Amino acid sequence: MNNYVITIGRGYGSGGRTIGKMLADKLGINYYDKEIMRLASKESGINQQFFAMADEKLKQTNIFKVSQNVYRGETFSDVDQISNTEIFNYQARVLRELATRESFVIMGRCADFVLKDYKNVTKVFVHASIDKCVKNVSSMSSMTEEELKKFIMQTDYQRSQYYRFHTGREWSDARNYDICLNTDGMTLDNCVETINNYRKMKGTL
């Protein structure tokens, strides 16, 4: 298998998404984020809005029946009662199929866990201090500094709950990843080079 995959988990405002895009551009491979929802919707026949509602967070509404279940490759059975787990499983199925046929960078979606049995995967977690995250996103928001801090912490909490729900693991546990990068003391270019160098040393070419 000559293709490879780089999964990136990231704290909100840490620069992880930008790093992922830069890395994909540098390597000339596909970058997937919310595009996975469209692909999963197309394959499953489930309206994309359901995927969007459960995008890296747990939603409990009258159209979801929530039941905790670590991913084991299942698919859904009843389109009229679509659970968070079934929505997740279709995204996971798309990821696993993609990993067998192309190289790409994937943001979030517990991809490090979904693809944990694939040898051609480099798993990355990007984080930063709350002050750095606020600074990174302040120019794109009208919120005050305190409001941004609360929003960032809430977003990361939702991501951690989503991750625990579907994997049984802790989102920020370094043992889940090959590399953990603190962008407080690194440029984004440095981060891209570090990830790519590790990927090459790991033998994922």
Q: What's the pLDDT at 205?
A: 47
- Assign residue 188 a region (left: φ > 0; alpha: ψ between -120 and 50; beta: otherwise): alpha
**Angle between helices 35-44 and 84-99 in degrees, nearest 10:** 100
203 CA to centre of own chain: 23
Q: For the domain that residue 43 is a member of, what is the CATH number?
A: 3.40.50.300
pLDDT digits (tens, 9 = 90+) for 65-106: 333 445 455 544 444 456 777 778 888 888 898 899 999 999
Residue (of 179, 185, 139, 190) closest to 6 by Cα position: 179
Query: Are 12 and 154 a contacting pair, CB within 8 Å?
Result: no
pLDDT digits (tens, 9 = 90+) for 12-43: 999 999 999 999 999 999 999 877 767 766 66
For the full predicted model, state whether its pTM sits above 0.75.
yes
pLDDT digits (tens, 9 = 90+) for 104-154: 999 998 999 999 999 889 999 999 999 999 999 998 888 899 999 999 999
Structure-token pair, residue 97: 């199929």
Residues 6+ apart with CB under 8 A from 116: none
Domain of 103 in residue numbering reads as 5-202
- Give the total number of structural domains in the chain: 1
